[in-house]
Amino acid sequence: MDTDKFTKILEKNQFGPYVGIPCSTFKYLLNYIIEKKIEYYPCTSEGEAMGLAAGIALTQKNIPIVYMQSDGFANALNPLTSLQMPYSIPSLLLISHRGDPQSQDAEQHKVMGASLKPILDILDVPFEEIDPYDFKKQVSRIKKSMIDNSECFALIIPQGTFDKYAVDRPSERKKLYLRSEYLEKLNEYIVPTDIVVGSTGLIGREMSSIIKSGAKFYMSGSMGCASSIGLGLALKNPDKRVFVLDGDGALLMKMGALTTVAVNKPKNFIHICFSNDCYESTGGQPLNPIDLDDIASLCGYKECLTITKLKNMRTFTNLEGPVFLNILIRPGQNNPAPRPNETLKELAEKFRKLL
């Protein structure tokens, strides 16, 4: 579907602004929204986006649009059921249907992909799959239903819905190194007794391809949970170093976990955040930049450093944790890393044996 047509029909029917979390299904739509400066507010989690949408809906006639993927819909359930629904605050939920049983998708999307429509049914949230050929009438019908019943409505978006709309976002980080270059350097310091957790998306894939030693836990979903998984491993394996390879977008989604790490003071915990100021795995949408090393320090991490040079990677070797390394990188990959061939269950069993 043409993104210009999609946005203009929604705008004409007084839907907007857009708030939410990106998904690769929305890549071209978000490219268009950003390029055309259509009002939108990127958030750090789907739950936060629902709260922001409620505030907007309470102050204007327009109905806000909350975009998310089907996995992220789980994060939106609490505000949906305890805010939007009991207060009768309408929002249009734009949900990309990852893991649709009728299509092929990555394994981590299967549970919510199959459960999305049944959950909406159980909650009595009306929903439809987008009709690209009669979208104008569909939107008018949806709007009437939402206004008449003061309710939320879910518009489900299959993969491949939007026509390609590419943009060139010049990076201000051209002189910085790639994430893979830092991982190759880190590989020199990892020993067989170490534990390495690779966060969701490209980080986990590159970790699996580049880090050759240690027990490696590959995360394919559960965005934002890397530091919490790493903390659990560190607390139960105090004689082993635990490396958490995180991303700035993922870390922001559950930033409160930093305080839980800090209060437990794991001496063997090394938290490495690759910061590129964008959601690279979903198409490079910009995120809200922040000095994460300052945040980690305020939360109580013992050592916090910003790194912009490969030679400074060895800094962590003499530090007692919890350590936070904020590594500034440029987006991109020299050699795109594939997903592991094993199933997620097989990867977990392999990890347990290595522990």
Structural domain containing residue 27: 3-157
The arithmetic mean of pLDDT across residues 181-193, rounded, is: 95
- The reply to whether 133 and 239 lie within a common domain is no
Is 35 a residue whose pLDDT tops 70?
yes
Pairing of strands 285-286, 278-279: antiparallel
The arithmetic mean of pLDDT across residues 240-252, rounded, is: 96
Residue 320 lies in a domain: yes
Q: Give pLDDT, residue 336.
A: 84
Residue 224 lies in a domain: yes
Q: To 5 degrees, how large is the angle CA 28–CA 48–CA 200?
A: 60
Q: How far apart are the first and last CA of the chain?
A: 48
Is 53 a residue whose pLDDT tops 90?
yes
Q: Give pLDDT, residue 102.
A: 82
% of the chain exceeding 70 in pLDDT: 99
Q: Give pLDDT, residue 218.
A: 94
- The reply to whether 201 and 261 lie within a common domain is yes
**Of 299 and 290, the one with more pLDDT:** 299
- The reply to whether 121 and 267 lie within a common domain is no
Confidence of residue 103 (pLDDT cuts 50, 70, 90): confident
Q: Give pLDDT, residue 348.
A: 93
Is residue 56 a contact partner of residue 89, using CB atoms and an 8 Å limit?
Answer: no
- The reply to whether 186 and 301 lie within a common domain is yes
Cα 352 to chain centroid, rounded: 26
The arithmetic mean of pLDDT across residues 43-67, rounded, is: 95
Q: How many domains does the chain have?
A: 2
The arithmetic mean of pLDDT across residues 302-314, rounded, is: 91
Is 101 a residue whose pLDDT tops 80?
yes
- The reply to whether 151 and 183 lie within a common domain is no
- The reply to whether 112 and 215 lie within a common domain is no
| Closest C-alpha to 232, from 191, 190, 197 | 197
The pTM (predicted TM-score) of the whole model is 0.90
Residue 85 lies in a domain: yes
Dihedral over Cα of 136, 77, 61, 162: its sign: negative
- The reply to whether 316 and 279 lie within a common domain is yes
| Mean residue pLDDT across the chain | 93
- The reply to whether 184 and 119 lie within a common domain is no
Residue 167 lies in a domain: no
- The reply to whether 30 and 149 lie within a common domain is yes
Residue 163 lies in a domain: no
> What is the domain-level CATH number for residue 228?
3.40.50.970
The arithmetic mean of pLDDT across residues 84-93, rounded, is: 97
Q: Give pLDDT, residue 16.
A: 96
The arithmetic mean of pLDDT across residues 78-105, rounded, is: 93
Is residue 317 a contact partner of residue 189, using CB atoms and an 8 Å limit?
Answer: yes
The arithmetic mean of pLDDT across residues 257-270, rounded, is: 97
Is 168 a residue whose pLDDT tops 80?
no
Residue that terminates a domain, selected from 127, 157, 187: 157
Low-confidence winner among 8-12, 127-131, 237-241, 307-311 (lowest mean pLDDT) = 307-311
Q: Give pLDDT, residue 314.
A: 80
Residue that terminates a domain, selected from 122, 157, 192: 157
- The reply to whether 233 and 142 lie within a common domain is no
Confidence of residue 254 (pLDDT cuts 50, 70, 90): very high
Residue 195 lies in a domain: yes
Residue 146 lies in a domain: yes
For 102, phi then psi, to 5°, come to: -85, 0
Residue 174 lies in a domain: no
Beta bridge partners of 249: none
Residue that terminates a domain, selected from 99, 127, 157: 157
- The reply to whether 229 and 324 lie within a common domain is yes
Confidence of residue 170 (pLDDT cuts 50, 70, 90): low
Q: Give pLDDT, residue 282.
A: 87
Per-residue model confidence as pLDDT tens digits over 194-210 = 999 999 989 999 999 99
- The reply to whether 190 and 333 lie within a common domain is yes
